[in-house]
């Protein structure tokens, strides 16, 4: 769960659920999430025109990667993992076909993704995550010295890619809940080693700095990286894995693919391609790990 989880909830259906679904009238969690998202500029763009909104997000991400030379393994993961999600959603989960056939009105989109979305503290938590994850790093890379910007840019790029994926997936009835869950979990786990590397390099830069170095920026970089590491570890291992994942794996909203036999032959034929995707992702992850080890 991250900033995009809030913005993605802006486009919830107003249709009533079908008879086979549990009705969730006046859902406080969805209402609170929607209200929190209304002030986000990207959320407003996506709500009005999904194609334009996603195009803007992709363009900004490409600009960030070009300006600050984001490592190829981070770009590879940010592209390869969503492609794996797309293929898996189509091959193994029939584009959420069983649930869409059960509820043609798509009333399941009204359900909040996070059980705590209706709590009074949740908007403040989302605001804090937005500040630490997006606003402060953006100000750092465009306002600080180049050496500080180069440390912060890779993590910001991968986080931005995660937001794009969630913007597309979370609001779509065509995406199975298991795949929606894979996005934030996979990206968040990938980003934690990046934050460790950023924090380690920032503190080392501060320790090696001389009297002529911009010490204030070095101190800020080390503080921001360490704070981000703490925030995203908490977000990943508590908010995501212990709060969001159990809710999203509700059997009613996350039917098992084994229950839908309509495309079993296609799934068997396409199974090797899924393994190829896993293999390519393993290569990206291993190259990323070795690259970071060499840098350290």
Give the tens place of pLDDT for each residue, 98-144.
777 776 766 666 776 677 777 889 889 999 999 999 999 999 999 99
Query: Are 84 and 281 a contacting pair, CB within 8 Å?
Result: yes
Q: 213 lies in which domain range?
A: 3-295
CA 84 distance to own-chain centroid? 15
Residues of the chain with pLDDT under 50: 3-48, 259-271, 289-290, 293-294, 296
What is the value of pTM for the model shown? Answer: 0.72
Query: Are 163 and 184 a contacting pair, CB within 8 Å?
Result: no
Q: What pLDDT shows up at residue 1?
A: 57
Best CA proximity match to 43, nearest among 143, 184, 171: 171
Count Cβ atoms below 10 Å from residue 57 Cβ, excluding itself. Answer: 21
Q: What pLDDT shows up at residue 58?
A: 82
Alpha helix segments (H runs only) across the chain: 3-8, 28-37, 41-48, 50-68, 72-91, 97-102, 122-130, 136-143, 146-169, 177-208, 215-234, 245-248, 264-295
Number of domains in the chain: 1
Contacts of residue 271, defined as CB under 8 A and 6 or more positions apart, other chains included, come to 91
Query: Are 39 and 2 a contacting pair, CB within 8 Å?
Result: no
Q: What pLDDT shows up at residue 278?
A: 55
CA 24 distance to own-chain centroid? 26
């Amino acid at each position: 769960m991250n900033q995009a989880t809030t913005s993605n909830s802006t486009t919830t259906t107003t249709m009533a659920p079908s008879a086979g679904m549990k009705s969730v009238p006046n859902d406080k969690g969805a209402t609170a999430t929607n209200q929190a998202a209304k002030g986000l500029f990207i959320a407003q763009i996506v709500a009005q025109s999904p194609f334009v909104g996603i195009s803007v997000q992709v363009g900004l991400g490409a600009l960030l990667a070009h300006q600050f030379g984001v490592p190829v393994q981070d770009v590879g993961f940010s592209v390869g993992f969503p492609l794996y999600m797309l293929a898996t959603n189509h091959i193994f989960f029939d584009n959420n076909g069983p649930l869409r056939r059960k509820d043609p009105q798509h009333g399941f989109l009204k359900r909040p993704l996070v059980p705590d979305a209706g709590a009074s503290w949740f908007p403040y938590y989302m605001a804090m995550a937005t500040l630490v994850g997006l606003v402060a790093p953006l100000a750092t890379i465009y306002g600080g010295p180049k050496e500080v910007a180069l440390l912060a840019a890779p993590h910001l790029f991968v986080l931005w890619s995660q937001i794009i994926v969630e913007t597309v997936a979370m609001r779509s009835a065509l995406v199975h809940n298991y795949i929606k869950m894979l996005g934030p979990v996979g990206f968040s786990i990938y980003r934690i080693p990046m934050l460790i590397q950023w924090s380690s390099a920032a503190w080392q830069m501060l320790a090696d700095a001389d009297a002529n170095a911009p010490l204030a920026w070095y101190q800020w970089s080390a503080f921001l990286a360490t704070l981000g590491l703490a925030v995203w570890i908490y977000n990943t291992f508590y908010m995501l894995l212990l709060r969001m994942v159990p809710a999203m794996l509700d059997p009613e909203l996350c039917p098992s693919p084994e229950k839908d036999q309509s495309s079993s032959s296609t799934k068997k034929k396409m199974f090797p391609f899924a393994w190829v995707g896993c293999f390519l992702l393993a290569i990206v992850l291993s190259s990323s790990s070795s690259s970071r080890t060499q840098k350290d």
